[in-house]
Amino acid sequence: NAGVTQTPKFQVLKTGQSMTLQCAQDMNHEYMSWYRQDPGMGLRLIHYSVGAGITDQGEVPNGYNVSRSTTEDFPLRLLSAAPSQTSVYFCASALILAGQTPENEQFFGPGTRLTVL
């Protein structure tokens, strides 16, 4: 199993550009999530999904869109990049218990380091 994979590893954008960060997992996990990591701010939840066709907002959703058309993939779209979106982005996945609770180990991808100029 490859686990959770993310592409690209590094990306530099100009203000106003759009792009999609890719995330895929091969563990058949229903729960997938996106976090951003900034110095001193920990891991902040952007969006999450409890299954194909179901997404919800996390703590810092503004400026980002997600979709979940398959169990395996959970792309994160930056609509119009801003310097405040410079960060390291992690995708994670987990099994879901009954009642749509992801109270299991989250497996993280290797991260994407994004710089917006």
Contacts of 101 (CB under 8 A, 6+ apart): none
* Residue of the chain from 25, 85, 87, 106 that contacts another protein (CB under 8 A): 106
Contact status: 32 vs another protein (CB under 8 A): no
Q: How far is the CB of 104 from another protein (least distance, A)?
A: 8
- First CA to last CA distance, the chain: 36
How far apart (Å, rounded) are the C-alpha atoms in residues 73 and 9? 17
Contact status: 61 vs another protein (CB under 8 A): no
Closer to another protein by CB, 58 or 63: give it.
Answer: 58
Contact status: 44 vs another protein (CB under 8 A): yes
Cβ–Cβ < 8 Å for 32, 25 = yes
Residue 43 identity (one-letter amino acid):
L
Contact status: 98 vs another protein (CB under 8 A): no
Q: Pick from 67, 76, 109: which is nearest to 91 by CA?
A: 109
* Residue of the chain from 24, 25, 29, 102 that contacts another protein (CB under 8 A): 102
Task: By CB under 8 A, name the binding residues for another protein.
Answer: 33, 35, 40-45, 48, 50, 54, 56, 58-59, 90, 94, 99-103, 105-106, 108-111
